[in-house]
A and B are shown apart, each in its own frame.
Chain A
Amino acid sequence: MTLDTVKHAGETPDTEQPWSELGLKQDEYARIREILGRRPTGAELAMYSVMWSEHCSYKSSKVHLKQFGEKVPANDAMLVGIGENAGVVDVGQGYAVTFKVESHNHPSYIEPYQGAATGVGGIVRDILAMGARPVAVVDPLRFGAADHPDTKRVLPGVVAGIGGYGNCLGLPNIGGEVVFDSCYQGNPLVNAGCIGVMKHEDIHLAKASGPGNKVILYGARTGGDGIGGVSVLASETFDDTKPTKRPAVQVGDPFQEKLLIECTLEIFAEKLVAGIQDLGGAGLSCATSELASAGTGGMRVELDTVPLRDATLSPEEILMSESQERMCAIVEPQHVERFMAICEKWDVIATVIGEVTDGERLEIFWHGEQIVDVPPGTVAHEGPTYHRPYARPSWQDALQADDAGALPRPADGAELKDQVLRLVSSPNQASKAWITDQYDRFVQGNTVLAQPEDSGMIRIDEETNLGVAIATDGNGRYAKLDPYTGAQLALAEAYRNVAASGAKPLAISDCLNFGSPEDPAVMWQFAEATRGLADGCLALGTPVTGGNVSLYNQTGDTAIHPTPVVAVLGVIDDVNRRTPIAFAQEGQLLYLLGDTREEFGGSAWSEVIHGHLGGLPPTVDLDREKLLGEILISASRDGMIDAAHDLSDGGLIQAITESCLRGGKGARLIVPDGLDAFTFLFSESAGRAVVSIPRSEELRFTDMCGARGLPATRIGVVDGQELDVQGQFAVTLTELRTAHEGTIAGLLA
């Protein structure tokens, strides 16, 4: 095959090109021709097609994502915002923290182990590229029905992939979620988050400036894996009639990534790079065009110098390859020798593949012949923007009218007990230890809290005990009933979880998982959820630092529940003051904070007992969430509480069960005046938490709540080896533990 050079493309304007196969629409192809003033070469077409894919260009979502930049709360913690590899937040004492959540949904369905593993690898490199040492990972996961045969294929592979890759990197896995719902049957959600820590002065950005600076590709050799992964996998719905796409999933090598991390951190420590970018989706196409575009604009790359795993790869394939464990650095000429020496120390291959020029074009050559000549901004940032039509679905009213409050409720204490045991043993509410015990949560020796605690917490300074906390939450059932409120509930829950651990919420990242943007109903869900999230962040004072959108999560015409997953990052001045969930001290008093209403729409109870999804989700009061958070943080700082647990899906009984089992102590509960036992135990009203208080602190705590106007109701005491709901039923901790801890292993082991 003859090489499709720029010159050749200029001479052969009428050559048929496979733009459609590469996922481009006709008008997009026409626009590329217009930008270039000729037809693109094969290599240029490859670059535009991956960079203009939904996954890379956010073409359907960006008109809505704009709100995150417009409705920005007054918050001076944000150091780097949306648009970089990850956002960066000031946490005090000269430290900055970067964090982000990304999706690897489609690859994980096709190839669960590698899909999940490379999801971890990708997010860790994003964090590394900001100049930070990665310190922890979290994994919000969603699968089909727990008892579906395919879940037994997908889940163990995903969990082993996250463990197999993450454990080898030496990053503690401190949180996340595991949710089962049949809507994710053919489309599991594998989201991966990472936190990194650095000093303010060490923040690095992805830009290539300074003509004459060298472009160095380092890390793994480039192979044929993941070619077209971005455009083919992430932007297209699964369809049984098409041939298998297995080869398009990247293959990870965590050992190589571990070397890359240590090598890169040593390079940062010696201040040897002017700009840096990881190679993830769209590989070299993305890295070169984004670096050049963010810099002065000009870059020249000799593509034939790229070290290859497979010598037969064409230049187009090299540009599109998503081979893992690669980074691209911009290095001043005088630092190149030292850069190479550090790479050699860590056995990392490094190659100068080009240099920054004083022009405004990204020029790529293959054995001396030019195959790419483009303005890099048109590839990286000026992709198409769609204003997709959206409309409230016709079924939304009927869904909301189907009130869960009308479902039959337990008639007596015996039935209540039976439903409690069914709830806490249901796959979504059961202990996830079988899964999380496959992740290393101890490595690095800084883990203060990890799952099943409300948030994961990491100490970042051994002298001052400064720490950060992270919680991720999302509830697709709530969001299906009302996407605006559902997104705010996800935000509120993660915020509450961080505060319940004693940390002050600072900022958020999000991973927005939705169906096809070409479906107006899905687009409405997306529009509503982003509006809800942006309004919520403004009200809570927590800016969005960045995130990820995953669309086309559907099988045939059936979309998943709209699933915005929110990660909230918090800071705690002294990790000694953290609040665990465990009820560990007999005699301590239990207080329920917040208001409990008859709210069962989308609840765990309605799902487990009735298989029902309908009505409205719990109402959100963000001022109340903020107040609750302040009370929880003050109580932690001043030593007024020994344990706290947020209330969310499953309601009070779920929280009490987890706290009792974690501490190995029972509790006696009294149904407060004005509430019936059923509502008390199962309501999912937001803005609530349960705390355990030493008797000596009771007055001080209730005075504080009274003065601030937060309802605090005494509901019982930590006591014995039973959970006793007085006048209703009692259940031994052993029975509760068997119910709660046996389910997942029973289904999957």
Chain B
Amino acid sequence: MTSRIGVVTFPGTLDDRDALRAARLAGAEPVPLWHRDKDLHQVDAVVLAGGFSYGDYLRAGAISRFSPVMETVIEQAKAGLPVLGICNGFQILTEAHLLPGAMLQNDHLHFVCREQRLRVENAATAWTADFAQGQEISIPLKNMDGRYVADERTLDELEAEGRVAFRYLDGNPNGSLRDIAGITNAAGNVVGLMPHPEHAVEPLIGTGGTDGLGFFTSILKKLVSA
């Protein structure tokens, strides 16, 4: 049986179709989820896609975190459901306290869209197992509020526990502390990052790279073997 990967659409979500496509290309059954619906429809994993949910009003991710679907996502993530938050999805995960820290506006105060090289610092999470530890990958980055911040103690903890999942290479694009591009929770089932793996899954499209597919094949392998 094919694994079911759900992608949540909030009002203002933009990359939901892309994430559904990426799940499909990786071999999963993509399942659209709706923000008002608490039911996750028996999905095996959830992607919170990028965009400007609720217009980024108040703070990016601050309103989505209280939507009905998130009640179930939060509850099940704590019980081990794999969840990947991309860009706005990462912001929602920090607002939901599934991941520590917060995102501020880029230090240069501009939206930035570019191809970004990253190092996979933790290849043991549910979403990175198909990468090699220390592997360098290249996927698009695009955001306004991408500067990851946390207090020193949290940062030290993340480093000590190997929970920094991705780090920026070739220049920090937004002023994120310690060049952090993405992190994982202690259990490794909840991962958030600012760059966009779902935009790098076909050789012809976007930057032409396919490094993003590894996120989706990673979770599929994990689900099949589970």
Cα distance A167–B52 when bound, in Å?
Answer: 9
Cβ of B17 within 8 Å of any chain A Cβ, yes or no, is yes
Contact with B along A286-297 (1 / 0, CB 8 A): 000000000000
Measured CB to CB, the closest approach of chain B to A342, in angstroms, equals 13
Cβ of B51 within 8 Å of any chain A Cβ, yes or no, is yes
CB <8 Å contact, A443 and B15:
yes
A164-B111 CB under 8 A given contacts A170-B15, A255-B12, A576-B204: yes
Cβ of B130 within 8 Å of any chain A Cβ, yes or no, is no
Residues in chain B near residue A443, CB distance under 8 A = 14-15, 18, 142, 199
CB <8 Å contact, A255 and B54:
yes
Cα distance A168–B18 when bound, in Å?
Answer: 15
Measured CB to CB, the closest approach of chain B to A741, in angstroms, equals 13
CB <8 Å contact, B21 and A445:
yes
Contact with B along A424-464 (1 / 0, CB 8 A): 00000000000011111111111110000000000100100
CB <8 Å contact, A255 and B204:
no
Residues in chain A near residue B204, CB distance under 8 A = 448, 459, 575-576
Contact with B along A139-181 (1 / 0, CB 8 A): 0000000000000000000001001100111100000000000
In chain B, positions 192-209 with a C-beta closer than 8 Å to chain A are 196, 198-199, 201-202, 204-207
Residues in chain A near residue B201, CB distance under 8 A = 445
Residues in chain B near residue A440, CB distance under 8 A = 111, 113, 142
Residues in chain A near residue B11, CB distance under 8 A = 255, 258-259, 346-347
Cβ of A698 within 8 Å of any chain B Cβ, yes or no, is no
Cα distance A144–B144 when bound, in Å?
Answer: 27
Nearest CB in chain B to that of A436: its residue: B113
Partner of A168 from the list B15, B52, B112 (CB cut-off 8 Å) is B52
Nearest CB in chain A to that of B21: its residue: A445
Cα distance A749–B109 when bound, in Å?
Answer: 10
In chain B, positions 1-42 with a C-beta closer than 8 Å to chain A are 11-12, 14-15, 17-18, 21-22
Cα distance A616–B75 when bound, in Å?
Answer: 72
Residues in chain A near residue B18, CB distance under 8 A = 443-445
Cα distance A686–B179 when bound, in Å?
Answer: 48
Residues in chain A near residue B52, CB distance under 8 A = 167-168, 254-255, 258
Cβ of B110 within 8 Å of any chain A Cβ, yes or no, is yes
Cα distance A575–B17 when bound, in Å?
Answer: 20
Residues in chain A near residue B22, CB distance under 8 A = 445
Measured CB to CB, the closest approach of chain A to B66, in angstroms, equals 15
Cα distance A254–B55 when bound, in Å?
Answer: 7
Residues in chain B near residue A462, CB distance under 8 A = 21
A437-B17 CB under 8 A given contacts A255-B12, A446-B205: no
A438-B110 CB under 8 A given contacts A168-B52, A259-B12, A443-B15: yes
Nearest CB in chain A to that of B36: its residue: A345
Nearest CB in chain A to that of B55: its residue: A255
Name the residue among B108, B114, B205 with the largest chain A CB count within 10 angstroms.
B205
Nearest CB in chain B to that of A171: its residue: B14
Cα distance A210–B114 when bound, in Å?
Answer: 50
CB <8 Å contact, A437 and B112:
yes
Residues in chain B near residue A437, CB distance under 8 A = 112-114
CB <8 Å contact, B113 and A441:
yes
Name the residue among A440, A441, A749 with the largest chain B CB count within 10 angstroms.
A440
Nearest CB in chain A to that of B108: its residue: A749
Cα distance A346–B57 when bound, in Å?
Answer: 17
Residues in chain A near residue B54, CB distance under 8 A = 255
Residues in chain A near residue B14, CB distance under 8 A = 168-170, 258, 443
Measured CB to CB, the closest approach of chain A to B166, in angstroms, equals 18
Cβ of A253 within 8 Å of any chain B Cβ, yes or no, is yes
Instruction: Please report the total number of B residues contacting A with Cβ < 8 Å.
Output: 32
Cα distance A163–B14 when bound, in Å?
Answer: 14
Name the residue among B22, B142, B144 with the largest chain A CB count within 10 angstroms.
B142
Measured CB to CB, the closest approach of chain A to B23, in angstroms, equals 12
Cα distance A347–B57 when bound, in Å?
Answer: 15
Residues in chain B near residue A163, CB distance under 8 A = 110-111
Cα distance A444–B206 when bound, in Å?
Answer: 10
In chain A, positions 596-636 with a C-beta closer than 8 Å to chain B are none
Measured CB to CB, the closest approach of chain B to A701, in angstroms, equals 23
In chain A, positions 227-261 with a C-beta closer than 8 Å to chain B are 253-256, 258-259
Nearest CB in chain A to that of B207: its residue: A442
Instruction: Please report the total number of A residues contacting B with Cβ < 8 Å.
Output: 33
Contact with A along B45-67 (1 / 0, CB 8 A): 00000011011110000000000
CB <8 Å contact, A459 and B205:
yes
Measured CB to CB, the closest approach of chain B to A456, in angstroms, equals 13
Nearest CB in chain B to that of A433: its residue: B114
CB <8 Å contact, A445 and B206:
yes
Residues in chain B near residue A749, CB distance under 8 A = 108
Cβ of B214 within 8 Å of any chain A Cβ, yes or no, is no
In chain A, positions 93-136 with a C-beta closer than 8 Å to chain B are none
CB <8 Å contact, A442 and B112:
no
Cβ of B140 within 8 Å of any chain A Cβ, yes or no, is yes
Partner of A447 from the list B15, B17, B57, B206 (CB cut-off 8 Å) is B206
Measured CB to CB, the closest approach of chain A to B22, in angstroms, equals 8
Nearest CB in chain B to that of A443: its residue: B14
CB <8 Å contact, A442 and B113:
yes
Contact with A along B167-185 (1 / 0, CB 8 A): 0000000000000000000
Partner of B111 from the list A347, A438, A442, A448 (CB cut-off 8 Å) is A438
Residues in chain A near residue B56, CB distance under 8 A = 168, 255
Residues in chain B near residue A442, CB distance under 8 A = 113, 140, 142, 196, 199, 206-207
Residues in chain A near residue B15, CB distance under 8 A = 170, 443, 445
Measured CB to CB, the closest approach of chain B to A172, in angstroms, equals 9
Nearest CB in chain B to that of A346: its residue: B11
Cα distance A446–B21 when bound, in Å?
Answer: 11
Partner of B51 from the list A170, A253, A446 (CB cut-off 8 Å) is A170
Cα distance A462–B24 when bound, in Å?
Answer: 12
Measured CB to CB, the closest approach of chain B to A133, in angstroms, equals 11
CB <8 Å contact, A258 and B12:
yes
CB <8 Å contact, A167 and B21:
no
Cα distance A132–B145 when bound, in Å?
Answer: 31
CB <8 Å contact, A445 and B113:
no
CB <8 Å contact, B113 and A168:
no
Cα distance A439–B113 when bound, in Å?
Answer: 6
Nearest CB in chain A to that of B15: its residue: A443
CB <8 Å contact, B199 and A445:
yes
Residues in chain A near residue B57, CB distance under 8 A = 255
A444-B113 CB under 8 A given contacts A255-B54, A259-B11: no
Residues in chain B near residue A575, CB distance under 8 A = 204
Contact with A along B99-120 (1 / 0, CB 8 A): 0000000001011111000000
CB <8 Å contact, A253 and B55:
yes
Contact with A along B76-89 (1 / 0, CB 8 A): 00000000000000
Which A-B residue pairs are the 6 nearest by beta carbons?
A: A255-B55, A170-B14, A445-B18, A442-B199, A168-B52, A438-B111
Given A439-B113, A442-B206, A445-B22, list of 20 further CB < 8 A pairs? A160-B111, A163-B110, A163-B111, A167-B52, A168-B55, A168-B56, A170-B15, A255-B11, A255-B56, A255-B57, A436-B113, A437-B114, A438-B112, A441-B113, A443-B14, A445-B21, A445-B199, A445-B201, A446-B205, A448-B204
29 A-B contacts (beta carbon < 8 Å): A160-B111, A163-B111, A164-B111, A168-B55, A168-B56, A170-B15, A170-B51, A255-B11, A255-B55, A255-B56, A256-B55, A258-B14, A258-B52, A259-B11, A347-B11, A437-B113, A438-B111, A438-B112, A441-B206, A442-B142, A442-B196, A442-B199, A443-B14, A443-B199, A445-B17, A445-B198, A445-B206, A447-B206, A459-B204
Interface residues of B (CB under 8 A from A): 11-12, 14-15, 17-18, 21-22, 51-52, 54-57, 108, 110-114, 140, 142, 144, 196, 198-199, 201-202, 204-207
Interface residues of A (CB under 8 A from B): 160, 163-164, 167-170, 253-256, 258-259, 346-347, 436-448, 459, 462, 575-576, 749
